[in-house]
Structure 1
Amino acid sequence: MSSNASSSHVDTFHCPHCTQSFPTTQALSNHVRPCKANAERAADRNIYAQRRLGTAQARPAFQPPTNPWDNIGQLSPDQLVRLGDIPSHRPTAPQPGPSVQRTHASAQSQIPQPGSQRPAAGSPHSHATPLTDRSVPPEPPRQSSSQTTDGSEIPQNSIRTEYHPKRKRAPEIVNLDEYNARRRRPRTDESSLPLPDDRPPYHPFRTRLDFDFAELVSSSALGKAEITQLLSLFKRGVDQEDKLTFEDFAGLQASWEEAQHLVSPFEAKEIKIPFESEEKTYTVWTHDIWKWIVECLENPILAKQFVWDAERLSRRNGDAWERFVNEPWTANQFWKALDLIPEGGFIVTLIIYADKTNLSTFGTAQGYPVYIKIGNLPSETRNGKGLGGGRLVGWIPVTHELAPKVTSTNKEARNSKDWTNHKRIVWHKSFLKFLETIRKHAKDGFPVECGDGIWRVIHPIILMLSANYEEQAVMAAISGTNNAHPCPACLVAAQNIPEYSEEFEYRCWEENKELVERATSPNSSALAVISATQDLEEVGVRPIENAFWEYPYVDLHRLFAFDRLHNYPGGLAKGRLVKFILGRFKSSAKAIVVRRIKVEKRAADLPRWRGLTHFSHILTGTAYQDSNKWEDMARTFLYILPDIFGPTDRAGRQVLRCLRHFLNLNALSSFENHSDTTIELMRRELKVFSEEVQKLGEITGKAWTFPKMHLQMHMPDDILAKGVTKNYSSKTFEALHKALKVFYQWMTNFRDVDEQILNADHRKYVIEYIKALIEAHKKDLDDLDGNEPPEAVEGKYSYSNVTLKAPQHWQAVPPATFQFNVASELGEYAQHCEGVDLVEEIKDFVDKKSDIIGFSAQGVEFCIQSFRSLETFFTSKETWDIESNIVRCSPDFYNKPRYDAVLIQTTEGMIFGRLLALFIARPTKKHKGVPIALILPYDGTFRTNERNKDQHFGLHRVRPFPQAKAELFAAQSIIRGGLLIPAYDTDTDYFVFDVLDGDMFLRMREVMYNERYPV
């Protein structure tokens, strides 16, 4: 960087945790606290990951006076002894329990099963043994080496990657931890961004502070008047070393104009389309897609993130390899695209989205944006907000819903066939304009020097189209719901929509193209036109030229993908299942009113969980635009309605059966990894769901013959072809609409808004580009100066897979002065510790583990500290990666008591429990000590008929033993948090909320159905 640039660049105050710079100490102060918390949380996650990999620079195991308890996860099975119950309630003598290594050979052993009986006192598995230790760390670290030549020696859960034959790369085998580490590893670390002419990275802005100011006013959607006033205030302030040089809006505008060339802008193009006796002219705004692709390819920041090879991934499961998919390049369509292009070429895969959106609150102003994402980039990049995320590349003209000649007295022309066809022609002619710059390169390719310095011949390939059903019908140019074959992908008959199917007769675009040409060509005979038109009507295709027909290597009807957002939360949940349930409570009859009050109270009293909507009025406050709310309503209803819809209510109970299997499908559709096993489970659930829906139709007399009932049948094949649903979900695209609405509201004059909105969006993209330049340049300077980023320091209260939070004293105190009022701290759960001296039990707990933890409770400096929350890290059965939960045990969390449920690993398997309190016991105040959890176990037994009753709705019930007492567990034995919903038919029982997330869903499948999902 030049000396001039260096002198104008000011980083006055630096954050010690992330190295971000701030112009004032006040700005730094506001930033540091949350940044520190995020850094500590990231450190805890990294330390857990390193320990699983065996790479952490940890203390030698079990060498006092260090902290051997941290390494309890590395104990051999014979070193693991059962942790403890409170002794005053255990009448029999202590018994040494068996050592159990966690396996998945028998899912039945994990949680008490139907008909299981409690072991007799004194037996090896007795829960009645006093002060016996039944805590087991959730999972030991795996071996880090997995590369073998003999298939029989390959460790379980190893990952094999096979590459496309054109790449001539040998298959690779790594273990699961290394595979996850590669996926998590930042790919921008090696990028170095050359700056043209030694100009500073914030050029054309004169100073870094100028750019920061421009970024602020852009993200805040400030107008000219607000910016001018703000600048006048700044000019009265004290000058900084890096001066803000803008004196008025004109100065800022001049920098904006100069910065426009950094990324390609939008262009206005006209299309002329005849309608009846006149020719209509429309303005199409386009962004050169090829230029944008090249900008991404040439960018060194993104270069390390591009994936060029098609991969087939398999996981070692038993004696065989089981295939799985996640990202687009792991699925079949990416592989097939490489088959089609010439030898030596590379594909850049495109995910295209289009949908009309309301810009104003009441829908009087509308926009029709077109977005594109690059499928070669990882999901966290392409679905993110920064460089490499979705890009607005087009703006389709919004045509009126009514034909021009419609009057208040003549409604026949509303949505007339000719006008509807005209609107579709406008759409496809517009898309031809969008695609024209990449269509010519798709077949033959074009050489590009990528940001990693390698020349590649690039073929831009459309991989998938993301849209709701209505927009898919526009893209396919079919007539939609009023169609004998309403699916945009296949030719399923409308009357067969509710039926389950696995094999489909896909639409043929070549046949449709030939029919359209015959039907519209002036050279066709009248008989040929009539015949072709009738054939088109039979398959529901409109007689218009489709924009995708001429695009190389594209089978239009294979591009459509299952849109989870609009088909499940915003479709079957909102429009059918939840709607049906809400309709059951609309009557003003006294019995219905009583039920309505009961249901609303149940929903309002449900325990809270992060990410799950809490409903104060679940039956009445239902004006939601957010589809996630409808999804959460569906999840909630399953657990609070079983006893409301009694045995004689056939329709009510049948809709709950449908809801159960819908929620199973909804959970499966959200998975970030899909294996052959989970795909087969999805197919089984689709079949059962279809059968249950048809039974409901027989009861109510209403068949579910709408297209969204059928579109889900394509989901398994879509996942195998294109990867998991988040790759093509419209949810990530619709999130981009928010910026357009802000631009309309605050950065336009509400007249001729298209150009104003697109200019604002282009400005936002320029900001993202310059910001990426600054961040990369700053890193290069740090590397040249030898400045290493601060190392992550293990959290003060971190222990292997758990971190304790919310300490109740600033330090641990001796037992004599330690205060823990059981009645006030445990509230309604205090009865489970009645007559217990908790301090003495903690001391006794420590003494019995002294040979493992390296200290006893008899030292004069022994002390205890209490906590009210815990973060637990675990390996998800869905993602196979590290995830975390925060669970709480507080008598006053936002003015309400909160004692979360947890899943615990014991020597008898996994059980649920209620977290009541957390402690750390230390031999001295400076010693890290050991974490201890006070938990009420829900490990009571059930009769077979009780389990069978709950199985009707797919529910799993847990309960404590009669007069159960709380027990002390090693905090590391907590696997994760959970959610338990009252069963309502008894005060002691709870239902496990198994659709909380993918990991919990699969864990409960193992428990309830003896299925196996190893991790």
Structure 2
Amino acid sequence: MMEHHPSSNIEAEVYAFNDFKRRPAENFTFKNHKDIHVRWEAASFRITKFTKEVILVPYDGKTWNFDLHYRDLWGLASDVLGDPHIFPHFMFDAQHLSKFDGETFVRFVNKPYTAQDFWDVQSQLPPDRKPLTFILYADKMRLLSFGTVKGYPVVARLANLPTGIRNGRGTGSGYVVGWLLIVKEDKDYAGKPSWVNFKNAVWHESFRRITLSLASKSRVGQWFACMDGVERWFFLIVLILSADYEEHLWPCPICLVPQHALSDTSKTYTRRTADDSHAAVTTAQAKDTIEEQEEVLKVLGLRNIENALWAIQYSDVHRVLLHDRCHFNHGGLWSRHYWVELQKYIARLGRAKVSQVDKAYQAFPHWRDLWHLNQVMNVLFVDSAMHEDISKMIIYATHNILTEDESPLGYLLLQCVRLYLEADIYTAFEVHTTATISEGRNAVQALMALMKDDNESDKDWNFPKLHMLTHLFDDIEAKGASRNYNMKPNEQMHGPLKDCDFLPGLNVDGSLHVKLGSSQAPQMFALIEDTHRNDDTFTNFCVRLNSFLNDFLPACNIRLPDGKRIHLKSDVAVTAHQFLRVNFESLIDWWQHTDYLRCNPCFYNAPRFDCVFIQTHANVIIGRLLFLFDCPVGEDLFPLALDGQLNLFRVRAKPRAQAEFFSVRLIIRGALLVHDAGLDYLVVDTVDTDMFLRVKEMHLQAGHVVRI
């Protein structure tokens, strides 16, 4: 169900997913690199250019000059609004979306215009006025050059666009709109509080100039003739800001938690507001002495600086600053704290244990979009994406090293890391319902409660990045899924095509569910059995297959050929395949996703036999692909798999002689299992959000106690 904001004058309506179709694909006209380059050059002239301006900031009795290069934000927005390919994807009205779960409509949020703050902003505008909302990212971790000038880039995106376009590449995605200037250190002023304030003032004056075109248009609006022939009155607003704000003396930019209470989540503290901060700075500036000014400002933990966002209506800096998962979690809480402490505990157990961790990572099964690392201990990684993948594998690599007997504190920390990973995965959900937000909050609370038990180590856990977890799901309710404001540098979507549907759902033809590939030469059963005569998996291969088909086909209401039992002979040829593509509907966002699975004895010089989730009549089981093939039955070909079944969450492999046949069409998606010991395996549920939810459901169905 889609409910539009009342000012849109659009009635709420219930849609069936079958009603939505993909837009027809356009012809692809590029033939070579030159064609692409020529098109890029032509397009570059349609985008607002950079301009140079000198900004002046007073300090110590003199005026300092800085060259600022920036793009006009309204000009850039006009460019995107005027693109005939991008304009149809714009959403100018807030929406409340719900999905029927069989019993009731469940509210969900994903994109910014489906979340609460977009709705609240539109509620404050005059009727028929439209919010044109910006996401701004000021990355102090990435120093770039513009000619001879160095600075930190400011990237702008339009939150009115779907995620696939906004976080993708090309028109409608992110644009560098300016460089925040760097103030070179001066030994005459270094260390002085006034010098720190001056550098922050330069930052804000630069940012103020970059966002200047938003200030007036956020208050009186701006008419624009849109591509659909409708003139709209836009109000320009900063909806999301990802940046390090250094004007706060108190540790949290969201609330007034004191420094000593950052790790205590049992209390809630007053939220900051831009009005309170602005009033405090104005009052302080009216005082005669620096001491009197600081006395006023320290109550709210502020510096004597005019915030650039105060000039932009509906853009409260304390509401637009959000929990950036890449910066706070992977590049902060994990890489600088949990990972550092884990390495200390492992190192204390000796070199053999350090080597064991590296070997565990080296032996970790390959998986698409997951870094395969041969060494992690004593190696410095700076890439947040790589740290994210290290964290996904850490439990499986160290659970038998940091044991409760060998390292009690290390074991406790590993438990905390597990809860951190669960909270991080909930944060990564592409779509959130009321239930998943509640589960995410519970994960954070469980983590904080367990960390209170870590009172014997010498680690001080009282720091801002840990506290920011408490605001994490407030941000999601306000702004939508975290990928709206997670500025992961290498996160690129698949462009406009993924979001060309009206709603996040697609009714996919079931015949496209699985596809076999990497076909081998046809082989007769006799040759297959002879080739694998030393492998119990293939003992009586033909006889067992006949038995399976005679039971399986009638159970699926498929007539046996000529109504007779199947009796394939040893001279019948089948075609083996070493690749399987599985399309599946994600439990998180209901989109079609794809796993690329291998059943190959020599894939890049190493055997690779991937695992899968299989839907049986009773439940979902996990198995390993041992042999993929299609078999002729009458005039039809049936794709089948010989599978080594792994019992549900005992994760213990059956002997190969007990391998079973399954129809490939019963495969739900791929599964990632890591070998533990003997026939035991561990199911890796941290690899993606859908995998996490599937494994959690299997835990619940099996009656396992789930911590959160």
TM-score (norm 1): 0.63
Q: Quote the residue 1:486 is aligned against.
A: 251
2:305 is aligned with 1:544: yes
| 1:454 equivalent among 221, 230, 248 | 230
* Structure with higher strand content: 2
Query: Within 1, Cα distance between the matches of 2:591 and 2:296?
Result: 51
User: What does 1:659-674 correspond to in 2, within 5 Å?
Assistant: 659-674=417-432
User: What does 1:290-305 correspond to in 2, within 5 Å?
Assistant: 290-305=74-89
User: How much does 1:498 deviate?
Assistant: 0.8
Sort the Cα spacing of 1:599 and 1:433 in 2 relative to 1 into closer, same or farther, 3 A: closer
Query: Within 2, Cα distance between the matches of 1:911 and 1:259?
Result: 52
Query: Within 1, Cα distance between the matches of 2:221 and 2:108?
Result: 30
Confirm or deny: 8 A CA contact 1:390 1:733 kept in the other structure.
no
Q: Quote the residue 1:838 is aligned against.
A: 541
Q: Extract unaligned runs of 5+ from structure 2.
A: 498-507
2:56 is aligned with 1:272: yes
- The range that moved more, 988-997 or 836-845, is 836-845
User: How much does 1:360 deviate?
Assistant: 7.6
Aligned-partner SS, 2:696: helix
Q: Quote the residue 2:324 is aligned against.
A: 563
Sort the Cα spacing of 1:663 and 1:171 in 2 relative to 1 into closer, same or farther, 3 A: same
Confirm or deny: 8 A CA contact 2:685 2:691 kept in the other structure.
yes
Sort the Cα spacing of 1:928 and 1:623 in 2 relative to 1 into closer, same or farther, 3 A: farther
Measured against aligned partners, the alpha-carbon deviations of 1:784-832 in whole angstroms (never above 9, x if no partner) come to: xxxxxxxxx99xxx955211111111xx4555666772258xxxxx334
| 2:3 equivalent among 162, 165, 174 | 162
Q: Quote the residue 1:983 is aligned against.
A: 676
Query: Within 2, Cα distance between the matches of 1:844 and 1:292?
Result: 67
Measured against aligned partners, the alpha-carbon deviations of 1:666-696 in whole angstroms (never above 9, x if no partner) come to: 1111110001111010111111100112212
Measured against aligned partners, the alpha-carbon deviations of 1:914-973 in whole angstroms (never above 9, x if no partner) come to: 11001101147xx55111110011127xxxxxxxxxxxxxxx541135686101111111
Sort the Cα spacing of 1:569 and 1:981 in 2 relative to 1 into closer, same or farther, 3 A: same
Aligned-partner SS, 1:717: helix
Q: Quote the residue 1:430 is aligned against.
A: 206
Sort the Cα spacing of 1:286 and 1:321 in 2 relative to 1 into closer, same or farther, 3 A: same
Query: Within 1, Cα distance between the matches of 2:354 and 2:314?
Result: 56
User: What does 1:301-340 correspond to in 2, within 5 Å?
Assistant: 301-340=85-124
Query: Within 2, Cα distance between the matches of 1:312 and 1:502?
Result: 31
Q: Which amino acid aligns with 2:181?
A: P
Higher RCO (C-alpha 8 Å, min separation 6): 1
Sort the Cα spacing of 1:260 and 1:716 in 2 relative to 1 into closer, same or farther, 3 A: closer
Query: Within 1, Cα distance between the matches of 2:621 and 2:568?
Result: 34
| 2:373 equivalent among 608, 612, 615 | 615
Measured against aligned partners, the alpha-carbon deviations of 1:228-286 in whole angstroms (never above 9, x if no partner) come to: xxxxxxxxxxxxxxxxxxxxxxxxxxxx7x98753321111111111113211111112
2:652 is aligned with 1:959: yes
Sort the Cα spacing of 1:265 and 1:725 in 2 relative to 1 into closer, same or farther, 3 A: same
Query: Within 1, Cα distance between the matches of 2:267 and 2:74?
Result: 38
User: What does 1:856-895 correspond to in 2, within 5 Å?
Assistant: 856=561, 857-858=566-567, 863-895=573-605
Confirm or deny: 8 A CA contact 1:957 1:992 kept in the other structure.
no
User: What does 1:752-763 correspond to in 2, within 5 Å?
Assistant: none
User: What does 1:203-222 correspond to in 2, within 5 Å?
Assistant: 213=34, 216=37
Confirm or deny: 8 A CA contact 1:902 1:914 kept in the other structure.
yes
Query: Within 2, Cα distance between the matches of 1:820 and 1:720?
Result: 61
Q: Which amino acid aligns with 2:671?
A: G
2:517 is aligned with 1:805: yes
| 1:288 equivalent among 72, 76, 83 | 72
Sort the Cα spacing of 1:849 and 1:487 in 2 relative to 1 into closer, same or farther, 3 A: closer
Q: Which amino acid aligns with 1:478?
A: H
Q: Quote the residue 2:263 is aligned against.
A: 498
Q: Quote the residue 2:181 is aligned against.
A: 397
Q: Quote the residue 2:644 is aligned against.
A: 936
Q: Percent identity?
A: 30
Measured against aligned partners, the alpha-carbon deviations of 1:175-195 in whole angstroms (never above 9, x if no partner) come to: 3455xx46xx349979xxxxx
Q: Which amino acid aligns with 1:982?
A: H
| 1:604 equivalent among 362, 386, 391 | 362
Confirm or deny: 8 A CA contact 2:167 2:491 kept in the other structure.
no
Q: Quote the residue 1:900 is aligned against.
A: 610
Measured against aligned partners, the alpha-carbon deviations of 1:844-864 in whole angstroms (never above 9, x if no partner) come to: 433445554455455899541
Aligned-partner SS, 1:889: strand
Query: Within 2, Cα distance between the matches of 1:646 and 1:260?
Result: 58
User: How much does 1:892 deviate?
Assistant: 1.0
Aligned-partner SS, 2:380: coil
Confirm or deny: 8 A CA contact 1:358 1:365 kept in the other structure.
no
Q: Quote the residue 2:192 is aligned against.
A: 416
Measured against aligned partners, the alpha-carbon deviations of 1:323-364 in whole angstroms (never above 9, x if no partner) come to: 110000100010011111111111111101112355589xx9
Aligned-partner SS, 1:919: strand
Q: Quote the residue 2:13 is aligned against.
A: 172
2:450 is aligned with 1:692: yes
Aligned-partner SS, 1:576: helix
User: What does 1:222-301 correspond to in 2, within 5 Å?
Assistant: 262-301=46-85
Q: Quote the residue 1:657 is aligned against.
A: 415
Sort the Cα spacing of 1:323 and 1:1008 in 2 relative to 1 into closer, same or farther, 3 A: same
2:678 is aligned with 1:968: no
Sort the Cα spacing of 1:375 and 1:817 in 2 relative to 1 into closer, same or farther, 3 A: same
Confirm or deny: 8 A CA contact 1:360 1:366 kept in the other structure.
yes
Aligned-partner SS, 1:356: coil
CA RMSD, Structure 1 to Structure 2 (Å): 3.2
- The range that moved more, 391-400 or 910-919, is 391-400
User: How much does 1:625 deviate?
Assistant: 1.9
Q: Extract unaligned runs of 5+ from structure 1.
A: 1-159, 191-201, 203-207, 220-255, 407-412, 480-484, 737-771, 776-792, 825-829, 941-955
Sort the Cα spacing of 1:513 and 1:715 in 2 relative to 1 into closer, same or farther, 3 A: same
Query: Within 2, Cα distance between the matches of 1:679 and 1:718?
Result: 11
User: How much does 1:726 deviate?
Assistant: 0.4
Q: Which amino acid aligns with 1:641?
A: T
Measured against aligned partners, the alpha-carbon deviations of 1:34-73 in whole angstroms (never above 9, x if no partner) come to: xxxxxxxxxxxxxxxxxxxxxxxxxxxxxxxxxxxxxxxx
Query: Within 2, Cα distance between the matches of 1:733 and 1:516?
Result: 39
User: How much does 1:504 deviate?
Assistant: 4.0
Confirm or deny: 8 A CA contact 2:284 2:296 kept in the other structure.
no
TM-score (norm 2): 0.89
Query: Within 2, Cα distance between the matches of 1:564 and 1:908?
Result: 38
User: How much does 1:487 deviate?
Assistant: 0.4
- The range that moved more, 314-323 or 902-911, is 314-323
For these two proteins, the number of residue pairs brought into alignment is: 681
Query: Within 1, Cα distance between the matches of 2:615 and 2:362?
Result: 31
Query: Within 2, Cα distance between the matches of 1:684 and 1:301?
Result: 42
Sort the Cα spacing of 1:301 and 1:980 in 2 relative to 1 into closer, same or farther, 3 A: same
Measured against aligned partners, the alpha-carbon deviations of 1:641-676 in whole angstroms (never above 9, x if no partner) come to: 222123332101101110110110111111100011
User: What does 1:126-137 correspond to in 2, within 5 Å?
Assistant: none
Sort the Cα spacing of 1:858 and 1:259 in 2 relative to 1 into closer, same or farther, 3 A: closer
Aligned-partner SS, 1:660: helix
Sort the Cα spacing of 1:877 and 1:539 in 2 relative to 1 into closer, same or farther, 3 A: same
Q: Quote the residue 2:503 is aligned against.
A: none
Confirm or deny: 8 A CA contact 2:154 2:176 kept in the other structure.
yes
Q: Quote the residue 1:720 is aligned against.
A: 477
